[in-house]
Chains A and B, each alone.
Chain A
Amino acid sequence: DQQVKQNSPSLSVQEGRISILNCDYTNSMFDYFLWYKKYPAEGPTFLISISSIKDKNEDGRFTVFLNKSAKHLSLHIVPSQPGDSAVYFCAASANTGTASKLTFGTGTRLQVTL
């Protein structure tokens, strides 16, 4: 039972363009969402998060959008750079209960081409 889904295993974007990575979730108890970036042979690093009381959070080139009614979030990277090439994981958690630990999606591999 995959509660956090990233339906696109890979994405290729040209340098300078916008990258949009998508994530869907099924557990309505989730109220906190995070994006992590992972390079090969390294651990994931935290990128950006959003609480369910917001619908947008921005940090430099990275913006996360949350659509609670659709149970959907997306990460926008503008402009995309070659160093952004990595696997991106979305994660979700709830404030209490059995879902109160991070649940990760399966990841999307982003390749930014020159």
Chain B
Amino acid sequence: DVKVTQSSRYLVKRTGEKVFLECVQDMDHENMFWYRQDPGLGLRLIYFSYDVKMKEKGDIPEGYSVSREKKERFSLILESASTNQTSMYLCASGRNMNTEAFFGQGTRLTVV
């Protein structure tokens, strides 16, 4: 059974904190993605990676960075958390960039 695991289900952080969201996949997929989901806005792509140490900006990269040091792990970093980054964060992986992606269970981040 395919699996994408996000390190936390719920997180509460203070404004200005550096936040790390971790994601691990066990499917040997080349491609990994970070999305955020907000009401009325759907899933928006923050960053993606098509190989180890490779990363590309998605549609809303401002305020975020990513790290992919190993194939199975893709981290999302909020350099200085702000309240407008309160959201559901979803990690996904896929064999191809443009076909079926498998999602983790999501991390509900609240920045206070």
* A residues with CB within 8 A of B: 6, 9, 32, 34, 36, 41-46, 49, 89, 91, 93-95, 100-107
Contact = CB atoms under 8 A, between A and B. Distances in A.
A43 B100 contact: no
Decide if the interface of chain A is mainly helix, strand, loop or mixed.
loop
Nearest to B59: A103
B105 A42 contact: yes
A105 B40 CA distance: 9
Interface residues of B, number: 25
Nearest to A105: B42
29 contacts: A6-B42, A34-B100, A36-B103, A41-B105, A41-B106, A42-B105, A43-B4, A43-B90, A43-B92, A43-B104, A43-B106, A44-B103, A46-B102, A49-B100, A91-B43, A93-B97, A93-B99, A95-B98, A100-B97, A101-B33, A101-B45, A101-B97, A101-B98, A102-B33, A102-B45, A104-B42, A105-B42, A106-B41, A106-B42
A41 B108 contact: yes
Nearest to A1: B59
Contacts of B104: 43
B101 interface: yes
B42 A43 contact: no
A19 to B, nearest CB: 19
B99 A32 contact: yes
B9 to A, nearest CB: 7
A91 B101 CA distance: 11
Contacts of A42: 105-106
Interface in B81-112: 90, 92, 97-106, 108
Given A101-B48, A101-B97, A43 B103 contact: yes
Nearest to B56: A101
B91 to A, nearest CB: 8
Contacts of A9: 40
A101 B93 CA distance: 12
